[in-house]
A and B are shown apart, each in its own frame.
Chain A
């Protein structure tokens, strides 16, 4: 008689626990299913593009990439043609790939250095008007680069003249020298965010460190090189990868300042052209697109940590 209540008492919590576990597992299963659906939706398009880029031309144009699984045929021909083909209809992508590299390297280096210098001055050199300048640079993040495009282009092509008086001559850049104006534009547009981000990190360095170096007789140049730079290396990496991805993937600035020919235009410009005029030449589009994706993907995967840090620090590009 007395054995019933304890048994019931023993059963009830157990049952409740089991029910909770089942409930959790069920919702866990549904949750996993939804998560998997999202993950599949997010990767399938890229996978389809990649697989297609490896299929023979006549197959890409007549069958879907999923028919690869019933009739597997792979070739690197598309890559060879889109990169090195010399007929006018091929991508000639190798030249544009080199342009992308030539555009990107200085467009990352210059803003990195100039932003670091400026951020150091704004964080650690005491002078009057420092706050005003910092707020000014910070506020420039608001200006969309569309506001600068037309006048900056005329600055390059016509120089500066006030009331008919020529103050600065036109740059008149021809051929490969045109890269300089792309570097210039990218550097200007990167500075507000760069100064903001690096200033954030620099101003958090312990003041005693800088003070100790100063007491030892170090000038600002030495402090900047020996003390500050090594400490903010992760921040430099963050800004570097942001700027790299932004320049490499940019279309608008390149269209306007690099023109549309293989002389100086980057891959994005070429791909946009091909998507427009040869929108059905999928063998070239898929291979070309994948070539342009590989480098940023590799950089991104190897430096994802720094990228995430930048995002969380408020990384928005103007």
Chain B
């Protein structure tokens, strides 16, 4: 096998990295210099302008203007040449292939937050106060560091399929065969394949729920727990009458965060099925329409719809957080 990896070919990249880091140092030094030069007696406005300029400029170029343009594009034809009114939105809600995408997204948003919260809560309660608590939490938390692409490959391997007569290499099919079933191509058969993709998302995010909910459980005042115990509450009563009401804000945080993350989900679907076999979701379809099929208008309309779905959830989340602070 040929292994002569060409390190010389990589040098321009490292040089570029060097440029980047030097540019970074130069910009920071320049800003600090400007700040020191501007006398303190002058109005604070000048100082604020120097400090805020880079961030506000980048936000304007990178987010605000593009978001406005995307909204405009969503009312234009694929090549952005003519206005088409609501055609792109009509397409989204009437064409069967687009409606399937919306329905799949709905299944994701309905299931992921609930499953993540349920698993996370169960696990947090079970390991709470045990001797191995922090190690146990770390195990479930680790997938948070894994990329969605990496997680996709990990689980694609779990779902791997070999014909019935040969030995299975995927864990799931091996279990099925061991129980006397026949191996199946889990990712190719709608509507179940979407559920198998959802499992991956739950696997990644359960650690998040565990950590947030576990912190909340630890925050329940000891007197309340003790009082309930003296009253003879059973563990189940304890959970539903004491624990759950006390950590309601944290549960909401998890539900809301997961809903937002799930709405924008792209990588898992793209890595594992490429959006085929009825598994495509809004973010994946947006990428396909805008960057593969050149249908910028439809892609933009999907992005705007995503924005419209996310906004109320985030507003609700901010309100909740404010109340929690109060």
A: residues with CB less than 8 A from B are 27, 31-32, 34-35, 38-39, 42-46, 48-49, 52, 60-66, 80-81, 83-87, 94-95, 98-99, 101-102, 105-106, 109-110, 113-115, 117-118, 120-122, 125-128, 130, 133, 137, 140-152, 155, 175-177, 179-180, 183-185, 187-189, 191-192, 195, 214, 217, 219-222, 224-225, 245, 248-252, 255-256, 264, 268, 271-272, 275-276, 279, 282, 285-286, 289, 292-293, 296-297, 299-301, 304, 307-308, 311-312, 314, 316
Contacts and interface: CB of A to CB of B under 8 A. Distances in A.
B17 A106 contact: yes
Interface in B29-88: 31-32, 35-36, 38-40, 43-45, 47-48, 51-52, 54-56, 58-59, 61-67, 69-71, 73
A272 B2 contact: no
A314 B70 contact: no
B167 A45 contact: no
B15 interface: yes
Given A84-B3, A148-B67, A249-B148, A49 B153 contact: yes
A251 B144 CA distance: 15
Contact of A316 (B32, B51, B257): B257
Contacts of B314: 141-142
A118 B56 contact: yes
Contacts of A110: 24
B228 interface: no
DSSP majority for the A interface? Answer: helix
Query: What range describes how many residues of B lie at the interface?
Result: 35 or more
B44 A43 contact: no
A35 B304 CA distance: 42
B154 interface: yes
A301 B69 CA distance: 41
B142 interface: yes
Contact of B36 (A99, A150, A184, A219): A219
B10 interface: yes
A312 B209 CA distance: 10
A177 B23 CA distance: 13
Interface stretch (B89-97, B98-106, B109-117, B283-291): B283-291
Given A39-B140, A46-B143, A296-B147, A86 B2 contact: yes
B66 A148 contact: yes
Please name the 7 residue pairs, one residue from A and one from B, whose CB atoms are nearest each other, closest first. A188-B62, A249-B147, A300-B145, A121-B51, A151-B66, A221-B35, A118-B55
Contacts of B21: 105-106, 109
A188 B35 contact: no
A185 B61 CA distance: 10
